[in-house]
Amino acid sequence: MLNKLSTYFYQRPRLVLFLFLAPPLLYMLVVYLGSLFLLLINSFYYIDDFSGLIIREFTLRTYAQIFSPANREIFARTATMAFFVTITSAIISFPLAYYIAKYASRRLKTWLLIGVTIPLWSSYLVRVYSWKLILAQEGILSYFINLFGLNGVLQWILSFESIGGSSLALSPLGMFIVFVYIWLPYMIIPVQTALERVPNSLVEAASDLGAKPLQTFRTVILPMAFPGVIAGSIFTFSLTLGDFIIPLAVGNSKFFIGQAVYSYQGTAGNIPLAAAMTMGPVVIMIIYLLIARRLGAFDAL
């Protein structure tokens, strides 16, 4: 019986393929893409200001609201944060990624990689929470800053309007630190993978031909590591764009995209506006992913 069935399937590879593909594809297409599509449709509806009901007519007026000065500011603020978080993560990730790829012994490499992947997979929420303890005014960071007599420096930095605030826990600077901390592993891994593919002989050849270490880095290593940086930036950029937990937990009262969407959808019940606002990050990320695939970043994932 089973043999017959086996032969039956063996002779019909297309049928087997269909049976294999149908469940995951149906799930992802219907549930996930279907939901995304509905969200897109909702962004073309609008909410009646008086009744608070969603009017299901095609309109672009909700999109027009996105370009109100207040919302434009939210987009600019979030994109700026995502940009700096990405750049900083890329820079910070290099020493560790390079060390793992080029210097660590086989044994040490395994452990270092575990050391990087554990924070990547472990609870995002708990990792955010840890910074509430650290950044608190009476907390551990302030203690050490005072201990080293650096309080004046901190106050000076916090006095800048764009990054400062009443304390680190309530400032964009604090938020920036938390973002970098949270997304850094997402950058280290692809950069390390990319660096792993730089042949040592190439680095040696560069120095044999008279390149200084910095020159080798700039002209040989960096270009080859670049797909890794792009791959990592998919995560750091996208995750920062949409995050609303970190701004809620650490930031000041100035909204980020995620927070705005969260409150439009929740308290205001304005699903069309929330939907339209999420389309910003969606479009940015889809373009980003397509470019990244072109640049070969997916191989570095």
Partner 1 sequence: MHSKKAPLPLTIAAFGTLLFLHVPMLIIFLYTFTPDETTYTFPLPGFTTKWFAIAWGRADLWRSLTLSLQVATIATISALILGTLAAAAVYRSNFFGRESISFLLVLPIALPGIVSGIALRTAMGGFDIPFSFWTIVIGHATFCVVVVYNNVLARFRRTSTSMIEASMDLGANSFQTFRYVVLPNIATALLAGGMLAFALSFDEVIVTTFTAGQQTTLPIWIFSQLTRPRDRPVTNVVATFVIIITFIPIFLAQRLSASSSDTEGETK
230 vs 240: CA distance, rounded Å: 15
C-beta closer to partner 1: residue 134 or 229:
134
Handedness of CA 50, 56, 57, 59 (dihedral sign): positive
Place of tokens 């699903």: 271
| Residue 45 contacts partner 1 per CB under 8 A | no
DSSP state of 27: I
| From 59, 68, 80, 110, residue interacting with partner 1 (rule: CB under 8 A) | 110
Task: Name the residue with tokens 């086996």.
Answer: 6
State which of residues 31, 55, 150, 268 lies at the interface with partner 1 (CB under 8 A).
31
Q: Is 93 in the site for partner 1 (CB under 8 A)?
A: yes
User: CA geometry: angle at 271 spanning 265 and 274, to 5°?
Assistant: 65
271 part of the interface to partner 1, by CB under 8 A: yes
Q: Which residues of 216-233 are buried (b: 16+ CB within 10 A; e: fewer)?
A: bbeebbeeebbbbbbbbb
DSSP 301: -
Does 148 contact partner 1 by CB under 8 A?
no
Q: Closer to partner 1 at the Cβ: 48 or 161?
A: 48
Span from 61-69, 120-128, 160-168, 216-224 in contact with partner 1 (CB under 8 A): 120-128
Single out the segment in contact with partner 1 by CB under 8 A; choices: 68-76, 156-164, 215-223, 230-238.
Answer: 230-238
Annotate each residue in 177-206 with x if it binds partner 1 (CB under 8 A) or - if it does not, as one string: ----x--xxx-xxx--x------x------
